[in-house]
Amino acid sequence: MDNEQEEKAKQEKTEKHIEKLEKYADSTQKAIEYSIERFDILIISLSSSSLVVSIGFVKNLFTDFKSIDTSLLKFSWLLFALALIMNLLSQVTGYFANRIDLDITNDIIRTKQGKDSKMNQICEQCIMSVLNTTTQALNLFSLFAFISGISVLIYFISNNV
C-alpha cells in the first residue's frame, strides 16, 4: 500500500508541476505576442520620428547645404523610409499567413466533423510557412535599416557640426 500511495503522490506532484509549466508556457506565449506587437509599433514610430526630426533638425542646423555633402543624410533618410516600407510589408505578409492558418484550422475542424476538406492543407501550410519566413525576414531587415539609418545620421551630424 505504501508503494501505491507513493506512486500516486508522485503522479499528483508531476501533474501539478506540468500544470504549472503549462501556465508558465501560456504566460510566456502572451509575452512573446506582446513583444512582437510592440516591435512593429516601435519600428514604425521610431523610423517616422527619426525621419521627421532629422529633416527639421537639419533644416535649422544647416543654412548652406551647398557647402556640405548631404549624401549621408539622404542615405539615412532612405534607410528610415526602407525600415517603414519593410515593416508595413511584414504586416501584409503576417496578415495573409494568419489568414491561411485560420483557414487550415477551420478545414481541420471540418474534417474532424466528418465533412470533406475544402483545401490542400499541405500546400496551404507550405504557403503559410513561406509567408511567415518572409514576415520574419522583413522584420529583421526593417530593424537593420532603422539601426543603420540612426548610425548614418549620427555619423553625418558628427562630421558636419
| For residue 37, pLDDT beyond 60 | yes
| Cβ pair 122, 142 in contact under 8 A | no
- As given in the structure block, the three cell numbers for residue 2 are 505504501
Amino acid of residue 18? I
For residues 78-106, average pLDDT = 92
The backbone torsions φ and ψ at residue 11, rounded to the nearest 5 degrees and listed phi first, read -65, -45
What sections of the chain are H helices per DSSP? 2-61, 71-112, 121-160
CB 68 within 8 Å of CB 145: no
Above pLDDT 70, what percent of the chain? 97
Domain boundaries, the chain: 45-160
Express each pLDDT in 106-117 by its tens digit: 888 888 888 888
Q: Residue 12's Cα: distance from chain center in Å? A: 39
86, three cell numbers: 519593410
pTM of the model: 0.75
